[in-house]
Structure 1
């Protein structure tokens, strides 16, 4: 890791001012969290609960705060899930055979599919309290954030440089120590960039996660997503535009106060011999570095580190190398495979029996045909996004000065919930007579193209400076520079972006193939519209058919196309 340069001592007044600002900021943040969290435990009665929220503009700041609290709660859950799931998939040989295909399936299940299954359980877990609906909403946002981060962190684990792997074993680090001292720092840059993208994905599905359906009843949680849904249903485009303005302020504030400092801080974990000519900067991070408050907190919690390391030594030493040559199949592997196949067969048989007893298998053929139409839209979205955003991502990632100027713009565009613009786009499509069958491709792209851009930026910015300098010294022709340096360097990151962009496009199809504004509803032919219609009518059998068919398409695409490319990247394009 590149060491962070030593800082000169700051004058006492500047340090005192930084201490005061950091303390006041932390106190204000704590007060806001307590104030907003208090509303999550309000009494809740299904018979009298509102199906919509007030569209009074005075309520927008409170709604924005409640939505932001849900987003960060889901982000914390996503990080914990990422660490546990990705580590197990990368380190446990047998578990990898199940966890990676399961991750393909999980990212292919639409958010509405998760909500239809879990919301009743969350309400039963907290009877009489709004906390049940809050947990269901947070879980829905979590399902739109976690998979992309998990793919990115797993990619960093399996492509970890061999010298770090050997050093961890020679130093006899425990598995716990290796995780926090090698694995997490090594995957910090792609994790932060994909965390930003996942956060943007959470905004995209905010409307669906704050307007919840339980049976035939609709319930709305206070939030900016529910506000936009209510304003769109009323056909009040003025209030929709007002909510869009609040969202721009909210997203920009999150970028300045959270993501920008985090990306600048993550630069210290870059693996290279030479220091970047111009490292990313953040005023908030500079303020924290000037303040003595973080150091005081470190001295307070620091003594807990060594006892925790000793306690976690029960997990054993990191003695086995990351890359183990495939050996002879053992009895345990055979038993494990048989058990997994038996469980899968049992689940499929139960699902088939349920479908046969309700809608019949003819509905599966209908869903497969609709899925083929949506598949065509997904291919167009990924192909166009690749052609547009790979060159742009390389340009941003390899130029620190450009990155400093472009990163806030990219983050705002990616984090902005594109479905807030759907009422405006719907009005434009209705006025121009353009079919949603074609307009839906644009709507799907608004919610999924950023995965490719962010991963390409992360991959390009992670290219070691010494390799860039060597290419410059050799005066490589432009075509050879792309073929020998840039494309191999960004290829693993692009694959992560491509996989998650394709999965995001499938998910986005549910809200992009059925859009409404001013009482006008436009519907496109496709599997997304099929699932949205089944969810709206509460048809559990059709929901199951739609989710299973969508999962088949996504998993099939990943296994037949993305997986071979991933194996190629692991074998040829890792340091």
Structure 2
């Protein structure tokens, strides 16, 4: 029991550290992108690629940046936090970016009139403007971090394995050694921990800015929020005080920014040069051979997720008494680490010939469905206007007619945004869905996810990174060719007007 408590505490601390890092990155980078056209033009395409890289694609970077340069224990812990950050940070950055971009120009005119410096603008304009978007996106990001937790706690490349104490590792080790009692106790402890974080922290936080049907207990959040507000306000006041008394020449921030950009480009160039030294043609052939299978699976799951998420969201909207139960179930299921579904459904996977495909579909669905559902729940349901509901009640518009004429047009922009995230989430889930080792048995179902796992098991760090880059380029290409056109053509046509 002590080992379980330590494992839960370690994973929870790791998640908290990754979230704090992600929050700071999102606030700084998102505000820079929103207010600096050079940073915006560089970072938007870079982020498009980075958010499309599955967690295995970041393993070589984690090894190179942290494990190779820090003492082993510290390096492995830092690498795990870094990998979890890659599952949390992207939509948080875009949330901050969109919030600040949408501010009225008069806000920035007033900032210039009162000669507010960069630090003052950050603490008094950018952060408050981003609060609602950050909280709403944190609901989704927190689930994404738990979903890939196990992959971050056990980093394997060839013969090298770096394993950390954590609930994900505890559950998998218990299953692999046949200790099923510890396995199910670990799963129960994981579920309890996940739900506690939502009920005590995230749900009341989100409900403070959006009226959503989520179970929550506000007492803990109120105390926690008060402490965080005091610390943040103190930090802001201290930095603003320093800024007011230490007048840096105007060129200093530009020099610092340019230096950071040069360093980043140097490492990026070194990485690209390293990838080009590999058997690019061979990796490309293997990738193209596996791509159609994964593409078919992801497309099927995406369509299924679209239909199911709409149904769940409509049930949530229609049956308010069941809304909290549906919301809580979604939060719990969305957070279950991807790899744990294999041992949970191990009997099915190892007994029936069709079993592995059932588990594969389950894992892909978990990686895809909840992006859609939470986007509709958090952003879409709030778009249904009261006057439309009242008119529907007056004229007796119910059932299918209400769904087609009011519900669907109102939530469609959020559904489209969720579908874009769902598309990327399903691709990231292929690494856990298409390849797994259960005890002494390895299940390889083919596909891009399986290819990445095979390269990782073989210790081919460069090939892993190159295949992940190919995958990200495919995802970005589809985003630009399909999703961007959908957004541009349908913008304004489905707004519940």
Superposition TM-score tier, normalisation by shorter sequence: 0.7 to 0.9
What residue in structure 1 maps to residue 177 of structure 2? Answer: 234
What residue in structure 2 maps to residue 113 of structure 1? Answer: 57
Q: How big is each residue's C-alpha offset from its partner over 1:432-465, in whole Å with a ceiling of 9 and x where there is no partner?
A: 2116356422221123321111111011343276
1:23-422 equivalence runs, <5 A: 57-127=1-71, 130-158=73-101, 160=102, 164-166=104-106, 169=109, 174=116, 184-185=127-128, 187-213=130-156, 216-267=159-210, 282-285=216-219, 308=239, 350=273, 353-355=276-278, 359=279, 361-396=281-316, 402-422=322-342
Change (3 A) 1:350 1:413: same
Change (3 A) 1:466 1:535: same
Following TM superposition, by how much is the alpha carbon of 1:492 offset from its aligned partner in structure 2, in angstroms? 3.7
- The answer to whether the aligner puts 1:546 opposite 2:467 as a matched pair is yes
Following TM superposition, by how much is the alpha carbon of 1:253 offset from its aligned partner in structure 2, in angstroms? 1.6
SS class of match (1:412): helix
SS class of match (2:51): helix
2:6 and 2:324 map into 1 onto residues whose CA distance is 31
Q: Output the TM-score relative to the length of structure 2.
A: 0.82
Following TM superposition, by how much is the alpha carbon of 1:214 offset from its aligned partner in structure 2, in angstroms? 5.7
What residue in structure 2 maps to residue 499 of structure 1? Answer: 420
CA contact (8 A) 1:354 1:541 kept: no
SS class of match (1:108): coil
Q: How big is each residue's C-alpha offset from its partner over 1:87-128, in whole Å with a ceiling of 9 and x where there is no partner?
A: 33333334333322211211221212212222243134332x
Return the structure number with greater helix share: 2
1:296 and 1:533 map into 2 onto residues whose CA distance is 47
Specify every segment of 5 or more residues in structure 1 that has no aligned partner in the other structure, as ranges: 1-56, 268-275, 316-338
CA contact (8 A) 2:316 2:323 kept: yes
- Larger of the two Rg values belongs to structure: 1
CA contact (8 A) 1:151 1:496 kept: no
Name the count of aligned residue pairs: 476
Q: CA RMSD in A?
A: 3.8
Change (3 A) 1:96 1:369: farther
CA contact (8 A) 2:199 2:215 kept: no
1:100 and 1:537 map into 2 onto residues whose CA distance is 33
Change (3 A) 1:468 1:344: farther
